[in-house]
Structure 1
Amino acid sequence: MSANSTQKHSHAGGIDVDAIRKGAQDLESGAVSSGYKGNREEILAMLNDALATELVCVMRYKRHYFTATGLNNEPIKAEFLEHAQQEQDHADQIAERIVQLNGEPDLNPSTLTERSHAEYDECTDIKGMIRANLIAERVAIESYRQMIERIGDTDPTTRHMLIDIMAVEEEHADDMKDLLGL
């Protein structure tokens, strides 16, 4: 059958191949197919807030890594650094997804803390740092849970990405809880 054939055909399960092929001709939409069901503007807004949250978390963990002192705190500092790197990975994933959805990642430093769900922290004692990180991880977990719920089945790719990120945030919270001795 030639590409120009007008014969209508579908595959098992009633998939309308002709409609899929026709919809795929809209090259401007990139990864957003004609069957995309998500509220793109709302999802992009949520993702940009999540991006801000992750970037604030990177900065908080980095600050804690650089300012924690004492030889007995070296393993905790290493944990802070590892978490900072993982939060940066999350930020990168989120920014990439924003671009895939034809949005613009908002990396404006002057509004990061306003848009972030988690707070920055300037604690100077190690217990305070760990506590601030545990609170921030709990905020992130609940924020992701609500985003996942809100997106539902309308955008499976974003939903799966957020579920994966949330699982890492839960590991971070467990790490901080263990460090606090709770």
Structure 2
Amino acid sequence: MDMPTRQSPRQTFRLDVDAIRDKARKNLDDGAVTEGYGADREAVLDMLNEALATELVCTLRYKRHFFMAKGIHAEPVAAEFAEHAAEEQSHADQIAARIVQLGGAPNFSPVGMLDRSHAQYVEGDTLESMIKENLVAERIAIDSYRAMVQYLGDGDPTTRRLMEQILAAEEEHADDMADLLDHNH
């Protein structure tokens, strides 16, 4: 008795290109946001403005720590603070650009920035306290951004990927701060 050969049903990928073309011509004012956008755009814009504030506060904190770092071990630590400040500013710029792509306005106003930011602005008075405050802020950003990535899911894969990239950088920053803390004991 011959056994029937099983072939897996092959799914073919087909697009209704005419329908896509028709939809693309509608709502041109929405720019990159098409009918297929699956997230709550206003919620995403609010979330991104909070992330923007977080990055700006972190930039300012790292800048202050760079200028205030003193002591025998200060030079390499200050260099790390300067590098992180530049990276946080780059994250802020990327987030602001995405906000605009989604049809929003990035909120750079200093009024309310600390309320919008997940991280805090703590100056620190010693090299060790500065490192600790930066580590705390990075850990806050890591948990906040991880939650954002989970919220975005498949609804907005472009923003999710951006936040995943920034999350990876924040994890690296936290690791750097933890290493500095170990070296300064």
TM-score (norm 1): 0.91
| Partner Cα separation in structure 1 for residue 19 and residue 35 of structure 2 | 9
The corresponding residue for 2:107 is 106
Separation in structure 2 between the aligned mates of residue 128 and residue 68 of structure 1, nearest angstrom = 10
Q: Name structure 1 gaps, 5 residues minimum.
A: 1-11
**Larger CA Rg, structure 1 vs 2:** 2
Q: Distance in 1 between matches of 2:20 and 2:86?
A: 39
Other-structure match for 1:180: 181
How far off its partner does 1:71 sit? Answer: 4.5
| Letter of the structure 2 residue corresponding to residue 15 of structure 1 | L
**Corresponding position: 1:129 with 2:92:** no
Shift of 1:64: 0.2
Moved beyond 6 Å, runs of 4+? none
- Secondary structure class of the residue paired with 1:118: coil
The alpha carbon displacement at 1:124 in A equals 1.3
- Which residue of structure 1 lines up, in the alignment, with residue 24 of structure 2? 24
Q: Output the CA distance in 2 between the equivalents of 1:117 and 1:19.
A: 42
2:14 paired residue number: 14
Measured on the aligned residues, the alpha-carbon RMSD in Å equals 1.1
Contiguous gaps of at least 5 residues in structure 2 = 1-11
In the alignment, residue 116 of structure 1 is paired with which amino acid?
S
Q: What TM-score comes out, normalization by structure 2 length?
A: 0.90
What is the aligned length?
A: 171
Match of 2:159 in 1: 158
CA offset digits 1:119-152 (Å, max 9, x no partner): 0011110000000000000000000000000111
CA apart distance, 1:45: 0.5
Report percent identity of matched pairs: 57
Residue in structure 2 matched with residue 56 of structure 1 by the alignment: 57
